[in-house]
């Protein structure tokens, strides 16, 4: 095999597929990136058997072939090459020579025949979104997946399609994030799948986020496929029945608060200056007629601040984990947010009128004497 391509194109391709190289595996071939130049295109692939990524890069094929190269050393070499044309040549003993200007590396590689290709997926059921929309949906929900495997379902996000509406849900036991978006054309049957959070994080990193660029999402019983910009991402789905979140959502409220989002976010952000890493200090919110008072007390000190609000309903004293409020407020783009509350023990809902986003946050117990 012998190929020539620019360092820029090669580095971009290697960076994309490296996201599917496993950090630990008992199969050494999976620690490799596959370079496939057996047809008229140069294709790079990595696959950890849960997540597989394939991307096409521009370049010239002087001699066709297929080779698997250790991903870690290959990406380090490519990253540190001069910004010029790179020649990759493989001999019959599977020795790979990488040349760029006066730099020349010679490394052992493995037969590409042993590599685990991405599963073939029949694309019968697909939806199309702009890359911008998908990137935003992930950004606005991914923070509330669980970060440990105690409950596998919580490490993923529910993708639910009904008619022309896509609903994405994540939860970790303390909060729920929901985003809804309208699909331009959707002719697929109602569908519910659980997509691993890891997959969505990696997809989000690769997406350009352009409004004009599209991503096609296809589904099977076991896999989800994302296709965009000469790149294909195939991921296994998480098996199981997702939580019945509709039972946790309520439109009832005793207190409704409209508040400037930036003011509220900045205030909570300031309050967390007094909380040490790992310390679980609640922020106490006292809602009265035209005022929201926020207080925090820790070993470092105390803070309290008032924000003008518009309120309907009862006064309320309630406590929250400040991080959960910050996470939700940071991803809302509206200038003003509306909070719906019932009592000090019931969850707070932050949602817009169309319910294109809904954030549910459970309150925490606190000492009223704070």
Residue 370 maps to a domain:
no
Residue 368: the pLDDT is: 58
CATH number, domain with residue 291: 3.10.150.10
Residue 4 CA to residue 14 CA, distance in Å, equals 15
Integer CA distances (angstroms), 16 to 152, 231, 233, 357, in order = 26, 8, 10, 30
149-158, 179-188, 230-239, range with greatest mean pLDDT: 230-239
In the predicted model, is pLDDT for residue 311 greater than 80? yes
Yes or no: say if 309 and 257 are a contact pair by the CB < 8 Å rule. Answer: yes
Residue 268 CA to residue 289 CA, distance in Å, equals 20
24/95: higher pLDDT? 95
Residue 319 maps to a domain:
yes
Of 69-73, 163-167, 185-189, 255-259, give the lowest mean pLDDT range.
185-189
Of 45-49, 115-119, 305-309, give the lowest mean pLDDT range.
115-119
Residue 186 maps to a domain:
yes
Residue 121: the pLDDT is: 84
Residue 120: the pLDDT is: 84
Average pLDDT, the chain: 95
Residue 331 maps to a domain:
yes
Q: Are residues 240 and 273 in the same domain?
A: no
Q: Are residues 98 and 205 in the same domain?
A: no
Name which of 92, 107, 100 is nearest 59 in CA terms.
100
Residue where one domain finishes, among candidates 220, 246, 272: 246
Residue where one domain finishes, among candidates 73, 93, 114: 114
In the predicted model, is pLDDT for residue 248 greater than 50? yes
Residue 366 maps to a domain:
no
Q: Are residues 60 and 157 in the same domain?
A: no
Residue 276: the pLDDT is: 86
Q: Are residues 91 and 165 in the same domain?
A: no
Q: Are residues 185 and 154 in the same domain?
A: yes
User: What does the pLDDT average to over 197-206?
Assistant: 97
Q: Are residues 261 and 151 in the same domain?
A: no
Q: Are residues 109 and 130 in the same domain?
A: no
- Report CA dihedral (119, 122, 127, 130) to the nearest 10 degrees: 50
Yes or no: say if 315 and 287 are a contact pair by the CB < 8 Å rule. Answer: yes
Structure tokens at 50: 């849960």
Residue 26 maps to a domain:
yes
Strand partners of residue 258: 310, 338
In the predicted model, is pLDDT for residue 247 greater than 90? no
Residue 70 CA to residue 288 CA, distance in Å, equals 62
In the predicted model, is pLDDT for residue 327 greater than 70? yes
Residue 132 maps to a domain:
yes
Tally the domains of the chain: 3
Integer CA distances (angstroms), 56 to 10, 13, 24, 134, 195, in order = 10, 7, 26, 22, 24
Q: At what angle do helices 131-139 and 197-206 cross, to 10 degrees?
A: 130
Instruction: Give me the DSSP letters along 203-238.
Output: HHHH----SS-EEEEEE-SSEEEEEETTEEEEEEPP
Q: Are residues 91 and 151 in the same domain?
A: no
148: pLDDT confidence band, cut at 50, 70 and 90?
confident
Domain that holds residue 351: 250-361
Q: Are residues 137 and 107 in the same domain?
A: no
Residue 116: the pLDDT is: 86
The DSSP symbol for 11 reads: H
Backbone dihedral region for residue 128 (phi beyond 0: left; psi -120 to 50: alpha; all else: beta)? beta
Residue where one domain finishes, among candidates 114, 137, 154: 114
pLDDT tens sequence across 250-298: 899 999 999 999 999 999 999 999 988 878 899 999 999 999 999 999 9
Residue 120 maps to a domain:
no
Query: CB neighbours of 266 closer than 8 A, spacing ≥ 6?
Result: none
């Amino acid at each position: 095999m012998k190929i020539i391509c620019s360092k820029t194109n090669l580095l971009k391709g290697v960076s994309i597929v490296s996201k599917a190289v496993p950090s630990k595996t008992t199969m050494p071939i999976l620690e490799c990136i596959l370079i496939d130049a057996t047809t008229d295109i140069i294709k790079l692939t990595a696959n950890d058997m849960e997540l597989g990524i394939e991307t096409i890069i521009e370049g010239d094929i002087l001699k066709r072939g297929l080779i698997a190269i250790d991903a870690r050393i290959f990406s380090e070499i490519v990253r540190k090459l001069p910004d010029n044309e790179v020649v990759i040549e493989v001999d019959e003993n599977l020795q790979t020579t990488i040349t760029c200007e006066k730099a020349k590396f010679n490394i052992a590689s493995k037969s590409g025949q042993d590599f685990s290709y991405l599963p073939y997926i029949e694309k019968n059921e697909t939806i199309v979104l702009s890359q911008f929309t998908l990137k935003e949906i992930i950004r606005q929900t991914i923070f509330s997946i669980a970060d440990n495997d105690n409950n596998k379902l919580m490490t993923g996000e529910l993708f639910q399609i009904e008619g022309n509406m896509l609903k994405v849900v994540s939860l970790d036991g303390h909060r729920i994030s929901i985003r809804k978006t309208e699909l331009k054309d959707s002719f697929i049957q109602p569908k519910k799948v659980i997509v691993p959070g890891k997959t969505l994080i990696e997809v989000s990193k690769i997406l350009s986020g352009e409004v004009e660029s599209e991503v096609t999402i296809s589904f099977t019983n076991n896999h989800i496929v994302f296709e965009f910009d000469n790149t294909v991402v195939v991921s296994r789905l998480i098996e199981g029945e997702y939580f019945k979140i509709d039972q946790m959502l309520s439109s009832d409220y005793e207190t409704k608060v409209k508040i400037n989002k930036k003011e509220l976010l900045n205030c909570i952000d300031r309050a967390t200056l007094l909380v040490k890493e790992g310390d679980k200090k609640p922020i106490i919110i006292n809602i009265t007629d035209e005022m929201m008072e926020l207080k925090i007390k820790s070993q470092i000190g105390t803070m309290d601040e008032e924000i003008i609000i518009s309120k309907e309903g009862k006064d309320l004293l309630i406590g929250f984990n400040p991080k959960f409020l910050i996470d939700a407020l940071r991803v809302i783009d509206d200038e003003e947010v509306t909070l719906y509350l019932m009592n000090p023990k019931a969850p707070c809902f932050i949602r817009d009128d169309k319910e294109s986003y809904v954030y549910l946050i459970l309150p925490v117990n606190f000492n009223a004497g704070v």
